[in-house]
């Protein structure tokens, strides 16, 4: 992952971690369940966006390098990894 993308991903993850800590405080303070659930949904959406960001970065760096390269095993590996990730999402 390039440095700019890595910094962006880390910043997003830190923000998400802050939101998770906020949910923990909400539970400790006996906040109304629906309000807690809304915050959990927001965190799930933020994680989804982070995952999309990381995937986009991966496609633009590792996958392109492997596809343009001369190593057929590297091409097969990155394509197989992408397939595996999408298969994982169906299992969740």
- What are the Cα distances from residue 79, in Å, to 38, 58, 61, 63? 36, 11, 13, 8
Domains of the chain from N-terminus onward: 3-91 (1.20.58.1000)
pTM equals 0.84
Q: Which of 57, 81, 64 is nearest to 9 (CA)?
A: 57
Output the six-digit token pair for 33. 């369940």
pLDDT for 74-85, tens place per residue? 999 999 999 998
Per-residue pLDDT, 90:
83
pLDDT for 19-75, tens place per residue? 999 999 999 999 999 999 999 999 999 999 999 999 999 999 999 999 899 999 999
Per-residue pLDDT, 1:
85
């Amino acid at each position: 992952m390039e440095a700019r993308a890595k910094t962006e991903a880390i910043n997003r993850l830190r923000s998400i971690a802050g939101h998770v800590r906020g949910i923990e405080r909400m539970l400790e303070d006996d906040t109304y369940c629906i309000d807690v659930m809304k915050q959990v949904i927001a965190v799930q959406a933020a994680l989804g966006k982070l995952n999309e960001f990381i995937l986009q970065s991966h496609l633009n760096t590792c996958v392109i390098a492997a596809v343009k390269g001369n190593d057929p095993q590297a091409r097969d590996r990155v394509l197989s990894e992408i397939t595996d990730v999408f298969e994982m999402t169906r299992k969740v």
